[in-house]
């Protein structure tokens, strides 16, 4: 009887798994996980997708296919998005497509297929590009326009999408690779996190891909990689060619192949049939026993389920996050990537410095001020935030104290400016008080942050944890005033920003003026890993007053102009130009707890190197960011704006002041527009093909004379110690630190 019960239980779980997985295969692949949820549910109001005015009388277009190809190598990532719009209607229509671009990403190519041939766009001053697009549109000629609308969002317009025809486009953007504590991270952002009520009221968004979706990554690392992981997309197929080359594939055309890889456990004798959720039952069921070919065929034919299905290939409303973990015990190093064409007087370089892990841990009790966003945009996330804060204050050490400050349109000081000792009784009382609050109103970040700063005790080490999901829209909102607030206090600001819609330019600027750092967090991140990354920095010493000196050859136009600080696990990426060639002396200087530190090495800059022409654009983007900071600090300036436009046009980049337009070839010629980007794209595509055909190259420059004596920091080593409440906060965290006065796919 017991054996029969066990067998019935196993069969029921298998059938439940089959039915659920069939539904998953038929629904959006992008959300086809097995139900393991790390966070409370959060839904973006706006996602990447086609935009249609809410009151429009015109019929809507659809996204027919969406294919993403990412190449990560030599310290940077290039993302290519090939997309097809479909117009099933009887009239020509204009397509408007909205998409977020990652922080530090810049659009470098916009191509439309006209008469079956790709036509690459060119960058012009923003108003001029808009004018030409409207003229081409009015004349009924094929045209397209890519524009930066907000700091995180771009829009593509294509006109016309012919009646009962398709329109194919390609978008390309590039960015420096993100590696921290020996952990690489790539985000394909799809959730916009829009908090603009007027925009939400005007536009409706269609993020559905009707027929075909794929996402592929080629990772070519100069250092060995021993694991790759997509925490929210476990159905991705990860393949290792060798320790330095990995690939990832995710798409609607490999669903059955993914199914064949899933194993079902021979269930051990249970005491009862099931008391868990469906997800828990499935997790228990997935392990060792293969699903038979007959069962797969039954799933394919739909025999195991009668559920209603959605035939969409994907829904573009969930970020795709990929991690890669470098092998342990790698040395601190300097990597150098250059570009200099034959006969050119000037070359471009990207230098990446990865310090050794010799920053000591800070052992000290603290005060914690929790500054919490209770605005209306936090609905759906508020209880998750409350739960995280409750667990955080419950895990404080006995010598710690805390405050809780809430803000919406105004500030509500829940603990009334009193530092509360973290006793069990106090934790229960204030946890209950916090649970009784709820979201409402606007977002007055300035008032909440000001209150917390004024409450700091100068005789104790303190941290301010600011939790918010959006932009300041009540009270003081000007960036200048926030910067003045931060420079007026002896504090360091650390930010971990969740989602794609928060005001990163403001938050990043505040961290820089306070010598802090910023960490980006997506809903698709491994949150515990991101918080460990964050806390490993605030619990260790940092390098301050950082300077990089290069002598022996002439260098210039280096960016960032001001480096400020470097925290544990961070890389320093510097772009610049160089003249001449040969050996150069490189010295990194910094202060650690007031003590001067110096790290020296010597290596060569090449006379010619054409493998990585993309770094010219990466330098241009970094330089533009420096110029924008000057505009933020000093106010709008015609000279700075002109400099941004000149650099963007020369290097074909879409910025706040420039857009990319596509017209028929004869129209480019008629308007006298030089095809700079067409030539640049051809050069970059040739170099990419040549790199792919060759073995992965090491870009380490200091092999002969290592600049650092210790191995680089990693998540696997060090950093242990007492509980830190930030580890329990799965949302946007902004922490101000003040010193008192005086799960992977492993390698084969």
Q: Residue 714's pLDDT is what?
A: 87
30 confidence band (pLDDT: 50, 70, 90): very low
Instruction: Give dist(CA 201, CA 703) in Å, integer.
Output: 57
What are the pLDDT digits (tens) for 608-659?
999 999 999 999 999 999 998 888 777 677 888 999 999 999 999 999 999 9
pTM (two decimals): 0.80
- For 606-696, where are the E strands, in sequence order? 658-663
Helices and strands in the chain: count of H runs, count of E runs: 16, 38
In a domain, 435, yes or no: yes
In order, the DSSP letters of 239-255 are: EEEETTEEEEEEEGGGH
3-state secondary structure 670-698: HCCCCCHHHHHHHHHHHHHHHHHHCCCCC
pLDDT > 70? residue 55: no
Quick check: is 620 in a domain? no
State the Cα–Cα distance between residues 53 and 485, nearest whole angstrom. 40
The answer to whether residues 120 and 677 touch, using CB atoms and an 8 Å cutoff, is yes
pLDDT digits (tens, 9 = 90+) for 492-501: 777 766 666 6
Q: If you average pLDDT over residues 371-398, what whole number do you get?
A: 75
Largest CA distance in the chain: 86
Please answer whether residues 86 and 61 qualify as being in contact, where contact means their C-beta atoms are separated by less than 8 angstroms.
Answer: yes
DSSP 175-236: EE-EEETTEEEEEE--B-----HHHHHHEEEE-EEEEEEEEEEEEE-SS-EEEEE-TT-TT-
Which whole number is the average pLDDT over 266-271?
32
C-alpha to C-alpha distance for 385 and 502, rounded to whole angstroms: 16
Q: Is residue 262 part of a domain?
A: no
Of 369, 361, 413, the residue nearest 393 (C-alpha): 369
- Give the count of domains, the chain: 1
Domain hosting residue 414, numbered range? 367-539+717-742
Q: Is residue 425 part of a domain?
A: yes
- Please report, for residues 136, 546, 567, the alpha-carbon distance to residue 666 in angstroms, rounded to integers and kept in the order given: 12, 51, 52
Over residues 538-563, mean pLDDT? 92
Tokens of residue 660, six digits: 């990319």
Distance CA 551, CA 312 (A): 58
DSSP category for residue 594 = T
- Judge whether 562 lies within some domain: no
- Is residue 591 domain-resident? no
The enclosing domain of 454 has a CATH number of 3.40.50.410
Helix, strand, coil percentages (3-state) for the chain, rounded to 5, are 30, 35, 35
Give tens-digit pLDDT for 414-462: 999 899 998 999 999 999 999 999 988 888 888 888 998 888 888 887 7
Closest CA to 472 of 483, 456, 459, 464: 483
**Which residues are within 8 A (CB) of 223 and not within 5 positions of it... i.e. 6 or more apart?**
244, 326, 327, 330, 698
Q: Note the pLDDT of residue 470.
A: 65
* Cross-strand pairs, 589: 547, 598
Chain centre distance of CA 444? 25
pLDDT, mean over the chain: 80
pLDDT in tens, 475-498: 888 888 888 888 887 777 777 666
What's the pLDDT score for residue 175?
A: 96
Q: Identify whether 649 is part of a domain.
A: no
Residue-level pLDDT at 660: 98
Does residue 403 carry a pLDDT above 50?
yes
Within a domain: residue 203? no
In this prediction, residues 63-79 reach a mean pLDDT of 96
């Amino acid at each position: 009887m017991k054996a029969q019960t066990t067998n019935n239980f196993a069969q029921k779980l298998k059938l439940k798994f089959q039915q659920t997985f069939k539904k998953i295969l038929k629904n959006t692949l992008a959300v086809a996980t097995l139900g393991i949820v790390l966070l409370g549910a959060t839904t973006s109001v706006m996602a990447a997708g086609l935009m249609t005015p809410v009151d429009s009388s015109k019929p809507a277009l659809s996204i027919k296919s969406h294919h993403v190809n990412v190449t990560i190598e030599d310290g940077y990532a290039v993302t290519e998005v090939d997309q097809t719009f479909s117009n099933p209607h009887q009239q020509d229509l204009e397509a408007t497509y909205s998409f977020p671009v990652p922080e530090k990403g810049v659009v470098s190519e916009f191509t439309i297929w006209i008469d079956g041939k790709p036509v690459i766009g060119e960058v012009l001053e923003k108003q001029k590009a808009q004018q030409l697009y409207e003229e081409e549109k009015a004349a009924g000629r094929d045209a397209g326009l890519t524009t930066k609308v907000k700091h995180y969002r771009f829009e593509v317009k294509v006109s016309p999408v012919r009646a009962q025809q398709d329109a194919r486009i390609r978008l390309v953007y590039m960015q420096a690779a993100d590696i921290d504590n020996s952990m690489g991270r790539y985000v394909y952002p799809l959730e916009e996190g829009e908090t603009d009520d007027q925009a939400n009221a005007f536009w409706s968004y269609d993020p559905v891909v009707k027929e075909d979706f794929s996402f592929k990554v080629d990772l070519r690392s100069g250092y060995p990689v021993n694991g790759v992981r997509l925490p929210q997309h476990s159905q991705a197929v990860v393949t290792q060619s060798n320790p330095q080359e990995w690939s990832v594939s995710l798409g609607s055309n490999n669903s059955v192949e993914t199914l064949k890889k899933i194993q079902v456990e021979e269930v051990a004798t249970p005491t009862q049939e099931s008391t868990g959720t469906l997800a828990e039952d499935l997790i228990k069921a997935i392990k060792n026993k293969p699903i038979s070919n007959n069962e797969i065929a039954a799933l394919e034919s739909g025999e195991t389920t009668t559920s209603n299905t959605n035939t969409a290939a994907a829904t573009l409303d969930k970020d795709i996050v990929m991690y890669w973990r470098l092998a342990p015990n790698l040395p601190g190093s300097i990597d150098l990537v250059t570009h200099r064409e034959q006969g050119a007087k000037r070359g471009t370089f990207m230098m990446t410095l990865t310090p050794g892990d010799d920053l000591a841990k800070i052992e000290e009790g603290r005060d914690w001020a929790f500054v919490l966003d209770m605005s209306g945009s936090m609905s759906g996330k508020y209880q998750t935030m409350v739960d995280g804060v409750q667990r955080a204050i419950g895990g404080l050490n006995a010598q710690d104290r805390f405050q809780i400050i809430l803000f919406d349109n105004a500030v509500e000081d829940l603990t009334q400016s009193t530092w509360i000792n973290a006793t069990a009784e106090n934790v229960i009382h204030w946890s209950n008080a916090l649970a009784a609050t709820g979201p409402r109103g606007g977002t007055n970040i300035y008032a909440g942050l000001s209150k917390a700063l004024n409450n700091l005790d100068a005789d104790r080490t303190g941290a301010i944890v600011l939790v918010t999901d959006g932009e300041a829209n009540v009270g003081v909102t000007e960036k200048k005033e926030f910067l003045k607030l931060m420079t007026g206090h002896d504090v360091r600001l650390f930010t971990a920003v969740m989602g794609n819609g928060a005001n990163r330019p403001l938050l990043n600027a505040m961290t820089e003026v306070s010598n802090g750092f910023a960490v980006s967090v997506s809903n698709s991140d491994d949150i515990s890993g991101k918080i460990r990354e964050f806390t490993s920095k605030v619990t260790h010493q940092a390098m301050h007053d950082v300077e990089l000196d290069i002598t022996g050859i002439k260098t210039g136009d280096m960016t960032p102009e001001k480096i400020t600080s470097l925290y544990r696990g961070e890389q320093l990426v510097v772009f610049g130009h160089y003249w001449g060639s040969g050996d150069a002396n490189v010295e990194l200087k910094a202060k650690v707890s007031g003590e001067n530190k110096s790290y020296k090495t010597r290596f060569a800059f090449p006379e010619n190197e054409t493998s990585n022409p993309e770094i010219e654009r990466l330098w241009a983007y970094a330089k533009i960011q420096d110029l924008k900071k000057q505009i933020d600090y000093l106010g709008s300036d015609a000279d700075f704006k002109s400099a941004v436009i000149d650099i963007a046009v020369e290097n074909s980049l879409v910025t706040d002041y420039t857009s990319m337009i596509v017209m028929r070839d004869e129209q480019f010629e008629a308007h006298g527009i030089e095809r700079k980007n067409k030539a640049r794209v051809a050069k970059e595509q040739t170099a990419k093909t040549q790199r792919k055909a060759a073995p992965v190259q090491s870009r380490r420059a200091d092999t002969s004379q290592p600049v650092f004596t210790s191995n680089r920091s990693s998540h696997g080593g060090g950093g242990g110690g007492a509980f830190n409440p930030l580890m329990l906060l799965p949302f946007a965290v902004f922490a101000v630190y003040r010193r008192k006065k005086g799960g992977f796919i492993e390698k084969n």
